[in-house]
Amino acid sequence: MPTIFWIGVGFASLICFIGALLGARSNSATFLSGAAMGAFMGFMLSFPLIAIGLSSS
């Protein structure tokens, strides 16, 4: 796999982790809802990098 793919995966993982932390610290959200939102946002934001990495492999 090209490096650009792994950069996208790492970016998505980082955003998922940040979302989980923020969800755990929130009064109105939970750890799982924060992780789910972080996973969704991370995937959507890093999708171009993941797509370029998959298409060039």
Residue 1 has pLDDT above 90, yes or no: no
State the pLDDT at residue 36.
94
Neighbours of 14 (CB within 10 A): 13
Q: pLDDT (tens digit, 9 = 90+) per residue, 3-43? A: 999 999 999 999 999 999 999 999 998 999 999 999 999 99
Q: Are 11 and 53 in contact (CB under 8 A)?
A: no
Q: Give the Cα separation of 29 and 54 in Å (integer).
A: 34
State the pLDDT at residue 6.
94
Supply the DSSP string of 1-55, one letter for each residue: --HHHHHHHHHHHHHHHHHHHHHHH-SS--HHHHHHHHHHHHHHHHHHHHHHHHH
